[in-house]
Amino acid sequence: MDKHLEQVGQSYDKAIDYGSKGIDLYQNLPDHIINDPDYLFYQKCESDSSFSDSGRKEIFEFLKPQTGMLFVDLGCCLNLMFRGYDTWPSTYYGVDISNKTIQLLKHFVSSENSTVGALHNGSIHETPFAEAQFDIGACIGVLEYFDRDFVEKALKEMSRIMKPEGRLVIDVPDLGSPECRIAMMIEAHLERPDNYNLSVEEFEKLLHPHFIIERKEKVGPMIQYFLRCEGQNLR
């Protein structure tokens, strides 16, 4: 698990380096991906906004961020910069395995004279936060990289740091769908292979000790879950 965490972090560090030079690695894919019959369907999903994106209005509408709330963004990537999270009235806390991502976010916060709670470089399954610290949270585009063991640990950690009755949005791959197959090929090409291996039933069984499923939506290659923490979180 540690080796795979390091591999994912290094891949996103590389993406930050290329991004600083104006290079989008998603736009330079090999022939075996772009010539795949399902790639056109994948592109259609992406172009018509049917992807599981951190900036979806449905996330904001469900979480209902307000002044005084603490919001944790697990596997935050650059959401603070590009997904409007810097405009939310809640106080932002970000966690990411990529050190260069966190460095870039800290530079952004400093240059914009913004205020955040904390930006932490580390894994989402072992965070430095207090028990029942957060009112709302999100974990988008993260769990697909990991197998059952990590996912189970990550869900327990989310339960630990979320307040009872807190709201959380997370997503996982829709295994078997054509757009998910292409997405996994792309992530493998970017040297951060998806190791996710849970059926919908298996994943929801892991959720149930900690969260109530308010609703779920098929969003491109992913399934997005809108969750409420149990009144008495079981850790």
235 belongs to a structural domain: no
Residue 231 — pLDDT band, cuts 50, 70, 90? low
- Range(s) of the domain holding residue 72: 1-229
Per-residue pLDDT tens over the stretch 2-42: 899 999 999 999 999 988 888 888 888 999 999 999 998 88
Q: What is the pLDDT of residue 25?
A: 85
197 belongs to a structural domain: yes
Q: What is the CATH number of the domain that holds 189?
A: 3.40.50.150
**Is the model's pLDDT at 232 over the cut of 80?**
no
Close Cβ partners of 140 (under 8 Å, ≥ 6 residues apart): 52, 53, 54, 59, 75, 79, 169, 170, 171, 224
Q: What is the pLDDT of residue 45?
A: 78
pTM of the model: 0.93
Q: What is the pLDDT of residue 28?
A: 84
Angle between helix 39-47 and 178-189 (nearest 10): 90
183 belongs to a structural domain: yes
**Average pLDDT estimate for 173-198:** 94
What's the domain count of the chain? 1
234 belongs to a structural domain: no
**Is the model's pLDDT at 235 over the cut of 70?**
no
